Amino acid sequence: MSVKPLIILPDPVLRLQSAKVERVDAPLLKLADDMLETMYDAPGIGLAAIQVGEPVRLVVIDLAKEGEPRAPTIFINPEIVALGDGVNVHEEGCLSIPDYYAEVERPDTVTVSYLDAKGKQQQIEAGGLMSVCLQHEIDHLNGTLFIDHISKLKRDMVVKKFRKRYRA
């Protein structure tokens, strides 16, 4: 496993639509392992392949708290099949937008269909932090960032700040 460099806002790669994974094979699983290593190193709780420059529909998540054993989950071709009727407001951050956090309103639950690391079709119904994380990471696969869910004024300020910071 190796740590990969993260793609940082305002890099246009973050706005790409990720392609469907056609085959679960050794190179894909190596990418997932590298993504986990990158996520743990950052540290973070979720990472989409596009954040390391790979435009494929692959997400890794591990919600284990510090001191708990790692519990990584690999989501290949994750698709949201249902959203809850309730609303959850959660402070979100992103490894591709370092040191910026904002409250984001999302559906309180989500049902996601995906392939696991063995290529087997799975479905997960999630609430709480897992729901937020799944929606956030699947947004990445569609070229959407969490700042797209906040006011235009705040979003424009964040983008301007990052353009200035990474121009140098």
Examine residue 6 and state whether it is found in any structural domain, yes or no.
Answer: no
Angstrom CA distances, 31 to 52, 53, 124, 127, 153, stand at: 10, 11, 22, 27, 36
Examine residue 95 and state whether it is found in any structural domain, yes or no.
Answer: yes
Examine residue 64 and state whether it is found in any structural domain, yes or no.
Answer: yes
Q: What is the pTM of this model?
A: 0.96
Query: Domain range holding 54?
Result: 12-167
Examine residue 18 and state whether it is found in any structural domain, yes or no.
Answer: yes
Distance CA 152, CA 160 (A): 12
CATH number for the domain that contains residue 37: 3.90.45.10
- Predicted confidence at residue 165, as pLDDT, reads 83
More confident residue, 61 or 166: 61
> Which residues belong to the active site?
137
Examine residue 83 and state whether it is found in any structural domain, yes or no.
Answer: yes
pLDDT tens-place string over residues 67-125: 999 999 999 999 999 999 999 999 999 999 999 999 999 999 999 999 999 999 999 99
150 has a pLDDT exceeding 60: yes
Query: For the purposes of burial, counting CB atoms within 10 Å of the CB of 67, is it exposed (0-12), middle (13-18) or buried (19 or more)?
Result: exposed
Examine residue 142 and state whether it is found in any structural domain, yes or no.
Answer: yes
pLDDT tens-place string over residues 63-76: 999 899 999 999 99
Examine residue 117 and state whether it is found in any structural domain, yes or no.
Answer: yes
